Amino acid sequence: MPHVVCSIFYKEFFKTRLGMVLLLGGNALFMGWLWLDIRRLFLLDHPEIVWYRVMDLGQIPYMPLTFLPAICGCIFCCFQFLPEMRDERLRISLHLPCAMPVLILSHLLYGLTFLSLLFALNALALILISHAYFPPDAVRLALQTTAPWFLAGLYAYLCMTCCLLEPRPRARLLGLLLGGGLCAPLLIRTAPGSLAPCLPAFLLLMPLLVIGLLLPALHYRHRRTE
Amino acid sequence: MQHPVLVENLRHAYGRHKVYDDLSLRFERGKVYGLLGKNGVGKTTLIKIIMGFLKPLGGSCRVFGDPAHALRPATRERVGLLFERHLTYDFFTIRQVEWFMSSFYPRWKSERFWALADVLGLPPSHRIAHMSEGQRSQIVLGLMLAQDPELLILDDYSLGLDAGYRRLFVDYLAEYLRDGQHTVILTSHVIQDMDRFVDEAIFLRRGGGSLTMPLKDFQHRFAGWRLDRASVNGETLPLLERMASGHLPPGACLVNAESHADRFEFFAFASLHEVEGTLRQAGIPLPEGALVPLPLNLEDAFVGYTGRR
């Protein structure tokens, strides 16, 4: 089984390298812009005022980051699965002599690994930026506030995958609704860090969704039976 | 002995459109089968079912004993698939695709792949996406032959290939099949190529009927005759037109009749004498020598058997 995972990772790397470079570059630019934006706050106002807004009023200067992970999840999914769906190339992979669950889960593992790394880099950049301008409490709060957004990015990736793999329009719509239903609570505007206690519960859904994605793959294999 | 592919009482439909009702076929080891039939008779559907990418509504299709849509990995290892338009991972280079595929097949024969790839004269670092359809067909064939499969399923291998690459493809395939150990099921739009290596022809008919026979027998036994309009009595023309529109006399030996501006054509697995008898029995007085044998190549015979429309 490990050699299957290695081989699939090899294939996925060559397929998605352009997408990975674009996403890494785009995110780096975005985080750079965020740093400049936060720096500008301190140039325009006294630090005490900025701190007061952030620490006491709960205004978060990194709000533009909210939807970025979800957008990245969808874009990466397209880079990974659209080439497979074009001319039904996924059939080549599905005929490889290995168990279908291992094959599909390896693809998903690759996507989740890359996105987790991307989001970890974003979180690291956010820590560095926050650490440069705010007290440690604000750094912790920044991580607690953005963690649900990163999780929404992973869910967006999985639900987008469901929509791309699923051949039946109704089930595709269901995948879309599921994606909306999972991402909306994580992206909703609440008090900074207030969603942090719910994260373990949201994380528990992840393995279920990953395993559930075997079903669209199975539908894809046996399609046009309805 | 286990059949590489066994189709029994297969039933499939797209909505209300019935493709097969009760199709049964046996594919024997070591033979090359050509699936023939007009567009819409279900060749692609049958190939998809055998490839395992379409689950039939009823009946069964077994590949080495496994249901075609649920092959075990060990069985999949024994089956080589060539998809229409020579699909492969075009983001890979020649070397990368060989490495990737070889990691899945324990019996991988690298030399077979490189023998075909080298013919192209391209560096191993050449990206597949930058290749022509013909070049890609060689890569895909190389990948399939390197798997050393016992069963090869080729879905319209000739699509997009010019005459040169088609010949190259067919010659390599014929060379590979020379040991007589491999079973091949193929479809192609270029019927003439089949003459070179197909053993058994399977004619699919609209509605699910089929006829399987050795290709040589088909070529030997199937014949066509022309009947000039000028050589028959004008009163019999409506009768002949009716036959050409599909209303062949019941129980007759005729398989098909075609109407042209200056002539009629009749096709049958029968002798001239039998066809003359059939036509006379149907009320068409034929002058002596009015039926002239048609020289038929494989494509002519195929069209004669299935009809032009």
CATH number at residue B286: 3.30.70
Q: Does B181 share its domain with B82?
A: yes
Please tell me which of the candidates A92, A99, A223 has its beta carbon nearest to residue B89: A92
Q: Which residues pair with B34 in a beta bridge?
A: B186, B201
User: Which residue type is seen at A225?
Assistant: T
Q: Which of B195, B213, B231 is the last residue of a domain?
A: B213
Q: Where does chain B have alpha helices with state H?
A: 43-51, 73-76, 94-102, 110-119, 133-146, 163-176, 191-194, 215-221, 237-244, 272-281, 298-306
Closest residue in chain A to residue B75, using alpha carbons only: A97
Give the pLDDT band (50/70/90) at residue B1.
low
Closest residue in chain B to residue A221, using alpha carbons only: B53
Instruction: Give mean pLDDT, residues B42-64.
Output: 91
Is B105 within 8 Å of chain A by CB? yes
What are the chain A neighbours of B85 within 8 Å (beta carbons)?
Answer: 87
Closest residue in chain A to residue B79, using alpha carbons only: A95
Three-state SS for A95? Answer: coil
Q: Does B238 share its domain with B144?
A: no
Domain coverage including residue B97: 5-213
Q: Is the pTM of this model over 0.95?
A: no
Whether B51 and A95 lie within 8 Å, measured CB to CB: yes
Instruction: Give mean pLDDT, residues B277-300.
Output: 88
Taking Cα atoms as reference points, which of B80, B169, B95, B165 lies closest to residue B126?
B95
pLDDT value for A2 = 79
Number of domains in chain B: 2
ipTM of the complex: 0.86
Give the pLDDT band (50/70/90) at residue A1.
low
Q: Is the pLDDT of residue B77 over 90?
A: yes
Instruction: Give mean pLDDT, residues A2-29.
Output: 95
pLDDT tens digits along B82-134: 988 888 999 999 999 999 999 999 999 999 999 989 988 899 999 999 999 88
Q: Which of B164, B190, B213 is the last residue of a domain?
A: B213
Q: Does B294 share its domain with B249?
A: yes
Q: Look up residue A91 and give its two tokens.
A: 């059939």
Q: Does B255 share its domain with B126?
A: no
What are the chain B neighbours of A10 within 8 Å (beta carbons)?
Answer: 96, 99-100, 103
Q: Rounded to 5 degrees, what angle do the CA atoms B172, B176, B177 make?
A: 120
Strand order from edge to edge, sheet including B263-268? B254-259, B263-268, B223-228, B291-294
Q: Which of B179, B213, B247 is the last residue of a domain?
A: B213
How many angstroms separate the first and last alpha carbons of chain B? 40
Is A168 within 8 Å of chain B by CB? no
What are the chain A neighbours of B89 within 8 Å (beta carbons)?
Answer: 11, 14-15, 89, 92
Distance, CA of B122 to CA of B98 (rounded, Å): 14
pLDDT value for A225 = 40
pLDDT value for A226 = 42
**Mean pLDDT rounded to a whole number for chain B:** 90
Is A3 within 8 Å of chain B by CB? yes
Whether A222 and B55 lie within 8 Å, measured CB to CB: yes
Whether A98 and B73 lie within 8 Å, measured CB to CB: yes
